[in-house]
């Protein structure tokens, strides 16, 4: 639990300050149709990543897209996503929010598409896709490196994790991993009995 509290505090601080975001101006890209791609990408893996980062999926992920995109995710990861959604819905009914991070980039700034896509085969059944995603909105969009991990399930490539803020000094090599934040959210939802009186980061009061 101590590891989680320290990690959560550091992670959310980084997200809010945008310290790790790449600087510099860029042209706004509203669709993944403009993606630059590496020819080494396996077609099935590339299609999976493209589908996940489509604007229609990102913009309404928790309320609609999650139920429609089951085949994009490894079974265990998909079950965790469903469980987090159920807990968030329950807590929302009490006036609080559990989900406080954009899962597609690990920021609180929102993700609006892919700018660059490159692939690295780990073995014949595992692939790591390096993305440069656009975060923020309007004229404040910037690029952020994101890594999507996929595994072949029979003839289909499924997402097993999403990571950002690469850091060799932390466990797992990234300060943000989707699998870690889902676990953290479920820990909060399961163990924070007094959140009504004393909200904590990860269990925030929703705006009135």
- Domain ranges for the chain: 2-205
% of residues, the chain, pLDDT over 70: 73
Q: How far is CA 58 from the centre of its chain?
A: 10
Print burial letters for 119-128: b (CB count within 10 Å at least 16), e (below 16). Answer: beeeeeeebb
Mean pLDDT over 138-156 rounds to 90
Per-residue confidence (pLDDT) for residue 196, from 0 to 100: 53
Cβ atoms of 54 and 112 within 8 Å: the answer is no
User: What predicted TM-score, i.e. pTM, was given to this entire model?
Assistant: 0.76
Residue 16 has pLDDT above 80, yes or no: no
Among residues 40, 54, 55, 32, the alpha carbon closest in space to that of 116 is found at 32
User: In the predicted model, is pLDDT for residue 101 greater than 90?
Assistant: yes
Three-state SS across the chain?
Answer: CHHHHHHHHHHHHHHHHCCCCCCCCCCCCCCHHHCEECCCCCHHHHHHHHHHCCHHHHHCHHHHHHHHCHHHECHHHHHHHHHHHHHHHHHHCCCEECCCCECCCCECCCEEEEEEEEEEEEECCEEEEEEEEEECCHHHCEEEEEEEEEEEECCEEEEEEEEEEECCCCHHHEEEEHHHHHHHHHHHHHHCCCCCCCCECCEEECCC
User: Residue 191 phi/psi, 5° resolution?
Assistant: -115, -15
Is pLDDT above 90 for 109?
no
pLDDT at 80 over 60: yes
Task: Give first-to-last CA distance, the chain, whole Å.
Answer: 31
- Is it the case that residue 130 has pLDDT exceeding 70? yes
């Amino acid at each position: 639990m101590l590891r989680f509290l320290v990690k959560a505090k550091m992670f959310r601080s980084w997200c809010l300050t945008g310290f790790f975001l790449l600087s510099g101006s860029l042209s706004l890209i509203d669709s993944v149709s403009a993606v630059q791609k590496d020819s080494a990408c396996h077609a099935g893996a590339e299609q999976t990543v493209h589908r996940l980062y489509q604007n229609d999926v990102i913009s309404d992920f928790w309320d609609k897209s999650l139920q429609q995109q089951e085949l994009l995710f490894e079974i265990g990861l998909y079950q965790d996503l469903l469980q987090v959604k159920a807990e968030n819905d329950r807590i929302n009914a009490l006036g609080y929010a559990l989900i406080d991070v954009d899962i597609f980039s690990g920021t609180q700034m929102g993700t609006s598409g892919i700018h660059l896509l490159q692939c690295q085969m780990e073995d014949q059944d595992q692939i790591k896709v390096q993305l440069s995603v656009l975060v923020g909105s309007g004229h404040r969009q910037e690029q952020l490196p994101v890594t999507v991990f996929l595994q072949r399930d029979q003839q289909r490539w499924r997402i097993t994790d999403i990571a950002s803020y690469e850091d060799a000094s932390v466990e797992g090599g990234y300060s943000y991993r989707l699998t870690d934040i889902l676990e953290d959210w479920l820990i909060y939802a399961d163990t924070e009995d007094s959140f009504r009186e004393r909200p904590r980061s990860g269990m925030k009061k929703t705006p009135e």
